[in-house]
Amino acid sequence: MSIKSKHNIITLIAGGTGGHIYPALAILYEIKKTNKIIFITDERGYNFILNEKDLLNQKNFEVIIIDVISPFKKGLINKFKFLCFFISSFIKLTHFYFKYKPKTQIGFGGYTTILPCLIGKFLFKVEYFIHEQNAIMGRANKILEPFASKTFIPFDKIIPLKHFNKRIYSGTPIRKEIKSIKIKKNNNNKLNILVFGGSLGSEFFSISLVNSFINLNPKVKKQINVFHQVINSKIKKVKQLYRINNVMSEVKSFFPNIEKYYKKTDLIICRAGGSTIAEILYLKIPCIIIPLKNSMDNHQAINCKIINDNKLGWVIDEDNFENNTLKKIIEDIITKNLHLDKIKVNLEKFKNENDRKKKYKSPNEILMKHIIK
């Protein structure tokens, strides 16, 4: 839909993973109450936005898709693609800023954010803010931070330790679907376990974790219920393995309405993406974190340090993963429920301490205070 007015337009920019898109969508619904929104992303990001059916039909919202590839990818073909994408995106974005000139913009990470923020700032004098979701700043945000008006960060300190005068501890914006969740008391006398490997899925989560569950003690297997995200090519096999090994389960390639599963979950097994960690901490659900071993700048290993240091769950290294490690944790939880109770106490304490540091303001309130002037 075409936006014809130059007034009260705010641009949100995010890379194409759920970790970047979801915080942007969380703040979008707040900003949209008084402003028109133009959302800049890539093809992957647009696929997430397609799930927001109500949003797509509104007059004060528009999506601009640009082509992006990492400038750090090796190989002549990738360098050529980067150059072509850069030129085509530069032309499209220059036309956009010349036509609309938003009053401000905020980037949520990913290479998609670099060109729009810099073109707006230096060619059209449109200030920008950035939000970082991880405990170590992503490469795109490292490039953008020196010229940003403010940087919103997920924890009270992140790496690298500089630009302190720009940084504001906000936490990560949480989607309205997640904020509305009321965790239900488990009435089925089973341990409900939600397993997912991030918005892009995970080969490791689709194979190794299944083996751990099917090899549990038979008595323990009767007391668990597994909601498991696996990659498409493994769905049939995983369903079969759970069925013949008598593990109650629900297997899907993606949980678009994950809030439905959060409501009834006692334990989450997942990666350590910034937005995932933020949702777990907000909902105060005990977790087992298995950080992605080849994540950019090892950010997932650094993210889950907060889980380890504050005893908010368990952290298992993928390279040293053994079926017995996960089996022991699950079997101990079933036989000694004290583990989960203690973690829930720690989660409550951690949330209270961090609310105090943010002066009991939500991430959305903190971002809105600076963005909407």
Query: What are 138-181's pLDDT values in tens digits?
Result: 999 999 999 999 999 999 999 998 888 999 999 999 998 899 89
Whether this model's pTM surpasses 0.85: yes
| Cα–Cα distance measured from residue 217 to residue 234, given in angstroms and rounded to the nearest whole number | 24
- What per-residue confidence (pLDDT) applies to 200? 52
Whether 148 and 208 map to the same domain: the answer is no
Whether 146 and 263 map to the same domain: the answer is no
Cα–Cα nearest to 251, from 214, 285, 215, 300: 214
Q: What is the mean pLDDT of residues 225-239?
A: 92
Whether 334 and 201 map to the same domain: the answer is yes
Residue scoring higher pLDDT (71 or 233):
233
Count of Cβ atoms closer than 10 Å to residue 182 Cβ: 6
Whether 108 and 196 map to the same domain: the answer is no
337 part of a folded domain = yes
Q: Which domain holds residue 31?
A: 9-171+360-371
pLDDT band at residue 205 under the 50/70/90 scheme: confident
Whether 203 and 247 map to the same domain: the answer is yes
Strands 36-41 and 151-153: unpaired
Q: How many domains does the chain have?
A: 2
| Cα–Cα distance measured from residue 141 to residue 106, given in angstroms and rounded to the nearest whole number | 11
Residue scoring higher pLDDT (313 or 335):
313
Q: Which residues are registered as beta bridge partners of 195?
A: 228, 269
Whether 116 and 159 map to the same domain: the answer is yes
CATH code of the domain covering residue 258: 3.40.50.2000
Please say if the pLDDT value at position 363 is more than 50: yes
To the nearest whole percent, how much of the chain has pLDDT over 70?
95
Computed over every residue of the chain, the mean pLDDT equals 90
Q: What is the mean pLDDT of residues 361-370?
A: 93
Q: What is the mean pLDDT of residues 175-202?
A: 80
Please say if the pLDDT value at position 4 is more than 50: no
